[in-house]
Amino acid sequence: MIHTSKLTKTFTVKKEKIQAVKGVDIDVARGELVAFLGPNGAGKSTTLRMLTTLLAPTSGAARVAGVDVVADPAGVRSRIGYIGQGNGGGHSYRVIDELIMQGRFYGMNTTDARERADQLLKSLELQDLKKRTIIKLSGGQRRRMDVALGLMHSPTLLFLDEPSTGMDPQNRANLWEHIMRMRHEHGTTIVLTTHYLEEADTMSERVIVIDHGEIIADNTAARLKADLAGDLLAVEVSAAAAPEVRGLLGRAAAAGELEETAYDGVIRFRLRLPDGARLAPGLLRDMNDAGAPALRLELKPPTLDDVFLELTGRSLREGGKV
């Protein structure tokens, strides 16, 4: 569905050249759900804008839905759907008018467009707001309207740029429910950008981590976490048992770091343990056998933030502000 080679975008800002995207190679197969994850300014949106022909690449090539983005941008646009960061509906327009016009823009006739609009309004729970002016919709309703606009022509490949930014958790869940349902019903290929870790983690099957205009990791969220981060294990033992446990955990942690804090006669060890959930029971058994039982144990599965931290040495949560 998507194939890029050495896709590059350079902006010139005040005579200074800024490489926003540095030669990325991306392949997305039909039916995949892929998230571009990275901090603000990493080049996710710029990449997406090149794939949707809103920006011309500086160099490199991209084929989207079988069409070259440089040679035939209009051909690409007629085959894809795009839901941008902003609200797509014109403020002074009525919901139904904008939807029908959108269908017309894609070459649908009025009857088909009206039928499709009604169907989308119903499934996105907007049917009562058909004649409402867009400026009078709530934030969540407007975002659902954006989704409806993006789906009017039933694209087989849909791009979403930061789909849930600024939405409350309930609306976000609601939005995802609609996107997922559409995907199950029509097998739509979906490419989205996000800086919400949880979103990339739970919703997408494949995560492409982008930082400073480059792809630094590309795999399923589960694989990335298992390979790059491992579970976070915290064990508390009595001060007397500490030396024994230090040895045991030190061997388990291998190359990783073993952190140690003490309070109220209790020693707390923390370490990153690849495949920790499987290794933890054995560790506990060894500790028991050594006469150094655990008082308390915590096992936290890794997050994509841990992956990002491992890859870049920075946390994604504060990444935007650095």
Partner 1 sequence: MQLQQATAAGTAVRKPGIGRILQDTKYVFWREMLLVIRDPFSLIFSLVQPLVFLALFGPLLGAAVGVEAFGGESSLQWFLPGVVVMIALFGTSMTGSNLQYELMTGSYERILATPLSRSSLLIGRALKEWAPLVLQGLVIALASIPFGFVFYPLHVLFGLVVIGVFGIGLGALSYALALVTQGKEWVFWGVQQTLLFPLMILSGIMLPIEAGPRWMQVLSLFNPLTYMVNAERELFAGGLGWDTLWGVVAAVITAVVGLAVGVRVIKHSSL
Nearer to partner 1, 67 or 124 (CB): 67
Nearer to partner 1, 93 or 176 (CB): 93
Phi, psi of 69 (to 5 degrees): -70, -25
In the complex, the residues that contact partner 1 under the rule CB under 8 A are 1, 11, 49, 52-56, 65-67, 74-75, 77-80, 82, 84-94, 97, 101-102, 104-108, 112, 116, 146, 149-150, 153-157
Residue in 108, 100, 143 with CA at minimum distance from that of residue 125: 143
Nearer to partner 1, 76 or 292 (CB): 76
Nearer to partner 1, 72 or 318 (CB): 72
For the bound state, the minimum distance from the C-beta of residue 77 to partner 1, rounded and expressed in Å, comes to 4
Nearer to partner 1, 119 or 219 (CB): 119
For the bound state, the minimum distance from the C-beta of residue 85 to partner 1, rounded and expressed in Å, comes to 6
Residue with tokens 């979103």: 199
For the bound state, the minimum distance from the C-beta of residue 18 to partner 1, rounded and expressed in Å, comes to 12
Q: How far is CA 296 from CA 29, 46, 259, 266, 309, in A?
A: 46, 47, 16, 10, 27
For the bound state, the minimum distance from the C-beta of residue 321 to partner 1, rounded and expressed in Å, comes to 22
Q: How far is CA 193 from the centre of its chain?
A: 5
For the bound state, the minimum distance from the C-beta of residue 208 to partner 1, rounded and expressed in Å, comes to 21
For the bound state, the minimum distance from the C-beta of residue 157 to partner 1, rounded and expressed in Å, comes to 7
Residue with tokens 């073993």: 258
Which residues make beta-bridge pairs with 263?
266
Nearer to partner 1, 93 or 297 (CB): 93
HSE-CB at 146 with a 13 A cutoff on CA atoms is: 24
For the bound state, the minimum distance from the C-beta of residue 14 to partner 1, rounded and expressed in Å, comes to 15
